[in-house]
Amino acid sequence: MKKHNVVCMAIIGACLFLLVGFNDQTKRIHNPNLLSIAHRGASSFAPENTRSAFQKAVELRADYLECDVHLSKDGELIIMHDDKIDRTTNGSGYIKDMTLDELKALDAGKSFGVEFQGETIMTLNELLEEFYGQVGLLIELKHPQSYPGIEEKVVSLLMGYEDISSIIVQSFDVDSMKKIHTLLPEIEVAILVHPSESLLSAKKLDELTSFASYINFNVSFVSKKMVDNVHERDSKVLVWSKKDKRLVSKAHKFGVDGIISDFSVWPTEEPIFLVQE
């Protein structure tokens, strides 16, 4: 009987230790002032840029969902990272050469896991209809120069929503973001900075921050001084990383405003961020 009591006490003690450790670790990592942006949804947990990934990110309390947008052959705003469907679906070819019906017939989940078989490609309109008001949205225009009129289509869609304060549109294409800003000045736009161009001059920063609310960098190619320079111009900084496992600690050190990652909430153990550009 005594041995049984000792075992029970040991189990209770271990549980208490784990609970205390969990709470302590959560407090240590969590920073309410650091935005958590779910990269292509919670793409470590579900097929990227799909309803399952976005829903999982909401469940994990992400501040924003990040998604990538292209145009289909019939002018629909399609959510997918690549301009081809080969990597993430059971099909082959370019999005621009396919209609919405053809894209909707594809399986966008099975390659990630059999439990996601039958997952379909989403449109930006569907994403807004389902998640607007629940979470912020970070919409990236991929290769907008390949899709004439994509800015007008995105703006037309967003103008149907009364409050767009929790929506950001971003791109590596500066001219595209200038166009979005001109068409819809009240929307926040972000410039993604290529690693090779991350040493921005004061003149370039002045130009970009004159219309962009965010200047976003790969964390491995930005310094605290550059972050401070952006902040001095009343704009903000989001960072991402392709290989750097120290993403969180660097983000804290540099004083950035948010992290774009495949995780959508700070884990309770030291996280490894597996983020792709």
DSSP helix/strand/coil, 85: coil
Catalytic residue among 4, 30, 39, 252: 39
Are residues 191 and 221 in contact, defined by beta-carbon separation less than 8 angstroms? no
What distance in Å separates the CA atoms of residue 201 and residue 203, rounded to the nearest whole number? Answer: 5
DSSP helix/strand/coil, 98: coil
What distance in Å separates the CA atoms of residue 192 and residue 201, rounded to the nearest whole number? Answer: 15
Are residues 74 and 95 in contact, defined by beta-carbon separation less than 8 angstroms? no
What distance in Å separates the CA atoms of residue 237 and residue 214, rounded to the nearest whole number? Answer: 5
E strand or H helix that includes residue 51 = helix 51-59
What beta strand segments (E) does 104-243 contain? 136-141, 167-171, 188-192, 214-218, 238-240
In the residue annotation, 39 being an active-site residue is answered as: yes
Catalytic residue among 4, 30, 70, 81: 81
In the residue annotation, 81 being an active-site residue is answered as: yes
What beta strand segments (E) does 135-245 contain? 136-141, 167-171, 188-192, 214-218, 238-240
Point out the residues that are catalytic. 39, 81
